[in-house]
């Protein structure tokens, strides 16, 4: 059992003795912005680790498993069948979606397509058609952009066989409206 003591600050980490000096309840000294600071670029980047507190979505592993199962463990856009490269993308993020997470609020996507979907560089409309942003169409790049993203423009995603596991068209429409706004439409 652990008890949190707040605030606390790490003052020193000693790698050789593997110890950490922690200050509890006192603020560490902060250099004023008016003080001159000398800086020289180090030849190597110092390895250092930070400890952070984070909120973890306890339902995510179960959500991922159900979404990947619904999509036969393949990316809905590219059909990539490598489970280690797949994620369960939320159509509407947890923070905006009220209620329980369901497979209908998810799509199995590979890492690249998931990031593009969340960044509104690709959109999926309520008819399950992929739309690629003009921002990406204007780029000149190699085969990854050409075949990995642009090649799926105006193509339908692969849907789960189980109709009840298919993406909710109302949720897709909400997300697609944001895609249009983010792309000047």
Residue listed under structure tokens 């790049």:
141
Length reported for the chain: 185
Q: Please report the pLDDT score of residue 51 as a whole number.
A: 87
What sign results for the dihedral spanned by CA atoms 98, 99, 100, 105? negative
Q: Please report the pLDDT score of residue 16 as a whole number.
A: 83
Residue listed under structure tokens 């800086």:
39
- The torsion defined by the Cα of 22, 23, 27 and 32, in degrees rounded to 10, comes to -60
The CB density around residue 38, as the number of other CB atoms within 10 Å, is 4
Residue listed under structure tokens 């059992």:
1
Q: With DSSP H G I counted as helix, E B as strand and the rest as coil, what are the percentages for the chain, rounded to 5?
A: 30, 15, 55
Q: Please report the pLDDT score of residue 41 as a whole number.
A: 64
**pTM attached to this predicted model:** 0.71
- The torsion defined by the Cα of 130, 135, 141 and 144, in degrees rounded to 10, comes to -20
Q: Please report the pLDDT score of residue 96 as a whole number.
A: 81
Q: Please report the pLDDT score of residue 23 as a whole number.
A: 74
Q: How far apart are CA 124 and CA 154, in angstroms?
A: 9
Q: Please report the pLDDT score of residue 52 as a whole number.
A: 84
Q: Please report the pLDDT score of residue 99 as a whole number.
A: 65
3-class DSSP assignment, residue 101: coil
Could you say which residues of the chain have pLDDT below 50?
A: none
Q: Please report the pLDDT score of residue 60 as a whole number.
A: 82
Find how far residue 76's CA is from the centre of its chain: 17
Q: Please report the pLDDT score of residue 36 as a whole number.
A: 58
In sequence order, which ranges of the chain are alpha helices (DSSP H)?
60-70, 111-118, 134-137, 143-148, 169-182
Q: Please report the pLDDT score of residue 35 as a whole number.
A: 54
């Amino acid at each position: 059992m652990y008890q949190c003591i707040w605030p606390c600050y790490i003052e020193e980490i000693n790698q050789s003795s593997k110890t950490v000096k922690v200050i509890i309840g006192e603020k560490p000294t902060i250099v004023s912005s008016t003080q001159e600071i000398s800086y020289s670029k180090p030849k190597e980047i110092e390895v250092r680790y930070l400890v952070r507190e984070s909120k973890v979505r306890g339902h995510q592993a179960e959500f991922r498993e159900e979404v990947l199962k619904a999509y036969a463990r393949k990316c809905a856009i590219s059909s990539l069948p490598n489970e280690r490269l797949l994620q369960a993308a939320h159509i509407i993020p947890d923070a905006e979606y009220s209620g329980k997470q369901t497979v209908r609020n998810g799509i199995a996507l590979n890492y690249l397509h998931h990031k593009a979907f969340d960044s509104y560089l690709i959109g999926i409309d309520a008819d399950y058609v992929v739309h690629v942003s003009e921002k990406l169409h204007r780029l000149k790049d190699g085969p990854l952009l050409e075949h990995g993203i642009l090649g799926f423009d105006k193509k339908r995603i692969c849907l789960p066989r189980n109709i009840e596991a298919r993406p909710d068209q109302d949720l897709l429409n909400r997300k697609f409206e944001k895609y249009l706004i983010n792309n000047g439409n």
